[in-house]
Amino acid sequence: MTESSLPEEAAAFLRRFEGEDWTVEPLFGDASVRAYYRIRRPDGSSVMLTYYPAEVRAQLGRFLRAYEAVSPHAPVPRLLRSCDTTTLQHDVGDRTLFDVLHENREEGLRLYRAAIDALIGFQKSAPGEEINPPFTAEFFFDELQMAREFYVGKLKGLDGAPLVPLLKKIAEKISSHPYVICHRDYHGQNIHVFNDKLFVIDYQDLRMGPDTYDLASLLRDRGVARILGRETELELVEYYGERTGRSVCATRYFETLLQRSIKILGTFARQAIVRGRRHYLEFIPPALESVARCLEELPEYERLGDLLQ
């Protein structure tokens, strides 16, 4: 047994349910301070352990309530056990949809359509607002303010004040879109491919929001649009509309994409500045490309190009 890398609370939980004969493999996490470990059993199988430090422990309760709401409708890793600090889940490996698309565009496109189908299933879940409140114009604006502070102000060293009226306009516009359940971070690195099946992770922040919000994340996050191409991107937007039976207006898609793209400029800049995670800077150029693409479709926000360049 190797448990030196595990917090004692997690190690005690693991000994209780898995005995003494296991090994620990720490895994690189996400933007959260949650800690992830692969637990290898003596028979060669493995499970995923997530530990929630005290400062984010409230997220564990939200995750459990989200799992209860989502698991009947969407392909998520099966929850095996949990306590007030730790969860054990089915191990769905390390290969992501993001990886597949970069390795094999044709196979990636097939699975991206499957990811849209999984998203539509996800939207059939009905979690209560006690998990997370719905998106509001104020919430969207606060996210955009982070970009003004960290990307424009601290990273670029520019005055972000002229952005404020445009950011408010974007926030108010997308908060008037039709609302559905949103994953909130639905992109290729949060969709794992295991035994040719998709599994959605990191969904505890789900909430009601614009119907194209997760679609914009899926098709544009972290530079995947460079591989998909513009024609395929719009085909997949149309595919989503056909599968949902809703009329999904391309303008709505680009409005939501614009908010998300500006928001993640702030997220990635903050990760580099505050937490020293400088690898997030490599995702800023694709986010700027997404902003530029949106401005082609939404000329009313053209001035953003000069303010964010």
Residue 2 has pLDDT above 90, yes or no: no
Q: If you average pLDDT over residues 177-181, what whole number do you get?
A: 95
Q: Is the pTM of this model over 0.85?
A: yes
Residue 184 DSSP label? S
Give the total number of structural domains in the chain.
2
SS3 38: strand
**Band (1; pLDDT cuts 50, 70, 90):** very low
Please tell me whether residues 78 and 208 are part of one structural domain: no
Please tell me whether residues 250 and 140 are part of one structural domain: yes
Q: What tens digit of pLDDT does each residue of 4-33 get?
A: 579 999 999 999 999 989 999 999 766 568
**Band (272; pLDDT cuts 50, 70, 90):** very high
> Alpha-carbon distance 122 to 217, whole Å?
15
What is the domain-level CATH number for residue 266?
A: 3.90.1200.10
Please tell me whether residues 74 and 195 are part of one structural domain: no
State which residues form the domain around 229. Answer: 97-308
- Tell me, yes or no, whether 2 lies in a domain: no
Over pLDDT 70: what percentage of the chain?
Answer: 97
Q: What tens digit of pLDDT does each residue of 114-173 get?
A: 999 999 999 999 876 778 999 999 999 999 999 999 999 999 998 989 999 999 999 999
Query: Residue 105 carries which side chain, given as an amino acid letter?
Result: R
What is the domain-level CATH number for residue 45?
A: 3.30.200.20
Residue 7 DSSP label? -
**Residue that finishes a domain, picked among 90, 119, 142:** 90
